Amino acid sequence: MSLTRSEAWEASFFGFPVEEIRMGNSLLADVADDVSALIEGAAPETLLKVSVDARQLHAIPWLERQGFELWETRYVWMTTWSRDELTQTHALHAALPEDRIVWGTESHHEAILSMTEAQVAKSTDVVNRFASPFYPEGSAETWYAKWIAQVLQNPKALVAVAEHGEDREVAGYFIYLPGEPQDGVDVYKGILSVIQPGHRGRNLHVHLQQFLFEEMAKRHERVTLDNTTQVSNYPVIRNHAKSGRRPDHIELVMFRGPHRR
């Protein structure tokens, strides 16, 4: 298995080389020499990421001594459900009389993009690599804007929107994208969800996901839901756990390279 993966999309987006060394769940003793060689061989302008399964936590101090800093995590949940399981209610509270869940249309795009900017890209609650000195100032805003705009243009994207009140204020959204089937089962990758701060705590995130599950159940006998979040994101983790998702693994992601801010 190759230890490295070139992050071509991210590299072309930011204009500097980005490479990920994937240690996965390998024992440090088995890969330390190869990882050292990859670090020494990297060009000085390269941003090196290293991802390590949390089960190999003791590799972190060794990586710190090689100059890596921990800035990101991937808490991966992989849940395979039958049609019946998708249509069961999952931690869904009573209907919300002033909210309705609808399919996203172009009329919602501006609200989705501005919520993403304010509640994810610029939010200090969302902890990720873009807050690190390894990325130029403003990277989170440009990266999320481009990513979500691309997803919204994808005709396969399932975009659910919560509208609130008579003036149909956009209170939140949740997006899934079909991925490559795994072991013959269709996969849906959770892209992003945001609930406006004034509308949090009302179970809207769960209402949005139920709306999407029902659509998946119309299309497939079984699906695998692929969700990734940061370990620091307690509201998402609580919602995944209480709605019966299955935690798969946690990766810790560290960074090394020139400072760009």
Among 22, 109, 168, 200, binds ligand COA (CB under 6 A): 200
**According to the binding rule CB under 6 A, does residue 126 interact with ligand COA?**
yes
Q: Are strands 18-24 and 158-164 parallel, antiparallel or unpaired?
A: unpaired
Interacting residues of 23 by C-beta distance below 8 A, sequence separation 6+? 3, 31, 35, 50, 51, 52, 53, 56, 59
Single out the segment in contact with ligand COA by CB under 6 A; choices: 32-40, 135-143, 200-208, 245-253: 200-208
Q: How far is the CB of 233 from ligand COA (least distance, A)?
A: 5
Q: Are strands 158-164 and 169-178 parallel, antiparallel or unpaired?
A: antiparallel
Q: Give me the 84-123 binding string for ligand COA, x by CB under 6 A, dash otherwise.
A: -----------------------------------xx---
**According to the binding rule CB under 6 A, does residue 210 interact with ligand COA?**
no
**According to the binding rule CB under 6 A, does residue 198 interact with ligand COA?**
no
d(Cα 15, Cα 159) in Å, to the nearest integer?
30
Q: How far is the CB of 94 from ligand COA (least distance, A)?
A: 14
Binding residues vs ligand COA (CB under 6 A): 119-120, 126, 192-195, 200-201, 203-205, 229, 233-236, 238-239, 242
